[in-house]
Each structure stands twice: as structure tokens, then as C-alpha cells.
Structure 1
Amino acid sequence: MDNIFSIGIVGVVAILLIYFAVKTIITSNYFQQGINLYEQKDYVAAEAAFRKVLEMNSTNDAVHLFLGSILVKQERVAEAIIEFEEVIRRAPKKVDPYLRLADICIEQQNQRAAIAYLEAAKELLIKQKQPQKAAQVTQLLTKLNASN
């Protein structure tokens, strides 16, 4: 009886491993397709590919960042902001969404919000020991503060 139980457990584990391996391969294929389409500037198709990835793995921050960038390219800024804010909510130590939101705010001439996002990005870069990037953000902050 123990033998049958052990075989059953091994079988279930094997099925789960196969399922997750196939799911990972499919997700990876959609992700790569999305990147290729993005590089070709086919933003509508790239968006569709990245949304398929998110259907399978909604917590993939890189996909949310790509999707946000695609939405900006399509002038769907409000939707892009949601994607970038989602990454900040889930992974507040990632710098990219702060920088992308700052870009949007600069484009919209919302200097105060842009400065806030850039300050947050600068602090993260300093904590992450990336002084060159922090210096670049500081230069941008100096320009923005001078124009106020």
C-alpha cells in the first residue's frame, strides 16, 4: 500500500513539473515575441503578447515596465501610469518605474511630481550603490529645479 501511495505522489509531482515547465516555455515565448514586436515598433501586437504573459504571470515586473512603455508610445499615458505604479507597489526598490513616471510628468509639464519621482529614484540609486546613475538623476533634478 505504501508503494502505491509513493508512486502516486511521484506521479503527481511529475505532472506538476511538466505543467510548470510547459507554462514557463509558453510564457518565455510570448515575452520574447513581445520584445521582438516592440523593437519592430509594432506596439499593438507587442501589447497583446505582453498581456498574454501577464495572464500567465501577473507579477512579472519587467513585463509591466515594457507594457507601460508600449502604452506611452500609443499615447495611452493613464494606462501606462497604472502599470508603472503597479511595479512600485509590488517592488518599491526598483528604480525604473520611478524614472518612467518622471518622464511622463516632465512630458506633462508636472515638474513637482517629476521632481518627487526623481528624488525617489536618486535615493534608491544611492542605496543601491550606483553613484554614476545617481549623479545623472541629480543633474536632471538640478535642471528641473532651475526651471521652476
Structure 2
Amino acid sequence: MFNNLQTTNVLSIFVVTIAIILLIYFAVKTLITANLFQQGVSLYQQQDYPGAEAAFRKVININSTNDVVRLFLGDVLKAQDKVAEAQDLYQQVIQRSPKNPEGYLRLANILMLQNQQQEATTNLQKSQELFQKQRQPEKAQRIAQLLEKMSHKLS
């Protein structure tokens, strides 16, 4: 009986130790990711696009599921005239998170630069619809105004 109690205590200590180690690991990983993300945003605001690109790529290497970082990285790439890479990132965001209106909006901007008005319009409409569904009527209204301007230019 004493042996069973000892085994149970050792097992409990082991499980708690593993849980604490995992918590520390994830806390450190989150802290590093947050610091790199903030560094990337700061460098982007300072127009240090290569530095911001490096920071955002590090964040993606640590946390590959973060679509917000992909959007920022796409913006940085676009600012460096790496339009094809930016377009690919925006398409990845849409593929991974089809209800993210920012992916459609940013892709539409790229498509407008490439003079692909019909595809840009389709993406703007999707973005507008999603902003409306997500109760962001101001953004949906701004997109509606842009679509109206675009339709007048095509007329």
C-alpha cells in the first residue's frame, strides 16, 4: 500500500512538473512572438520594410497560424514592390480564413494595381459583405463608396 502511494505521488509530481514546463514554454513562446510582432509593426511604421519583413517572417516561423501577421507581411512586401509575394500571402489568408474581410480587401488592392478590375470588384464585394456580417458598417460603407467610384470609371 505504501508503495502504491509512493508511485501515485511520483506520478502526480511528474504530471505537474510536465504541465509547468509546458506552461513556461508556451508563455515564453508567446512573449517572444508578441515582441517580434511589435518590433515588426514598429519597423513598418518607420518604413524599414526589410527589417519589418524579417521580424514578421520570424513570427510566422514561430506561429504559422497567425493570419494577422501574414496580412502585415503582405503589406510590407507590397511596399517593397514584391507584389506577387504579397498577393500569394493574401490568397493564403483567404484560403485559411475565408471569413476574414481584410484578406479580400488587400487582395483587391493588389488586383487594382494589376488592372484586374473585375477580380478586384469581386474581392471588394466579398470584403464588404463580410464587414457587414461582422457588424462593421463603417468599413462596409467605405468599400461601397469605392465600388461606386469604380463602377463610374468603368462606365
Write the distance in 1 (CA, Å) between the matches of 2:130 and 2:34. Answer: 29
Deviation readout 1:69-108 (Å, 9 max, x if unpaired): 0000000011001111111111111111111111111111
Please report how far the alpha carbon of residue 143 of structure 1 lies from its aligned counterpart in structure 2 after TM superposition: 1.4
Give the Cα–Cα distance (whole angstroms) in 2 for the partners of residues 131 and 26 of structure 1: 35
Aligned to 1:34: 40
Residues 12-23 of structure 1: pairs in structure 2 closer than 5 A? 12-23=18-29
Q: Does 1:52 align with 2:71?
A: no
Helix, strand or coil for the counterpart of 1:147? helix
CA distance in 2, matches of 1:130, 1:25: 30
Question: Aligned-pair distance for 1:129?
Answer: 2.4
- SS at structure 1 position matched to 2:100: coil
Alpha-carbon RMSD: 1.0
What's the offset of the Cα at 1:131?
2.4
Give the whole-Å Cα distance in 2 for the aligned partners of 1:38 and 1:126.
Answer: 29
Residue in structure 2 matched with residue 130 of structure 1 by the alignment? 136
Q: What is the aligned partner in structure 1 of residue 96 from structure 2? A: 90
Query: Per the alignment, in what secondary structure is the counterpart of residue 109 of structure 1?
Result: coil
Letter matched to residue 26 of structure 2: F
Taking structure 2 as the reference length, what is the TM-score of the superposition?
0.91
Matched pairs, number: 148
Please say if 1:68 is aligned against 2:74: yes
Q: Distance in 1 between matches of 2:142 and 2:25?
A: 45
Equivalent position to 2:13, from 2, 7, 11: 7
User: Pick from 104, 109, 117: which aligns with 2:110?
Assistant: 104
TM-score, length-scaled by structure 1:
0.95
1:41-96 residue CA offsets vs partner (Å, 9 max, x unmatched) = 00001100110000000111110010000000000011001111111111111111
- Letter of the 2:83 counterpart: V
Structure 1's unaligned 5+ residue stretches are none
Structure 2 unmatched runs, 5+? 1-6
Quick one: which amino acid aligns to residue 130 of structure 1? Answer: Q
Counterpart of 2:65 in 1: which secondary structure? coil
Partner Cα distance (2:131, 2:138) in 1: 9
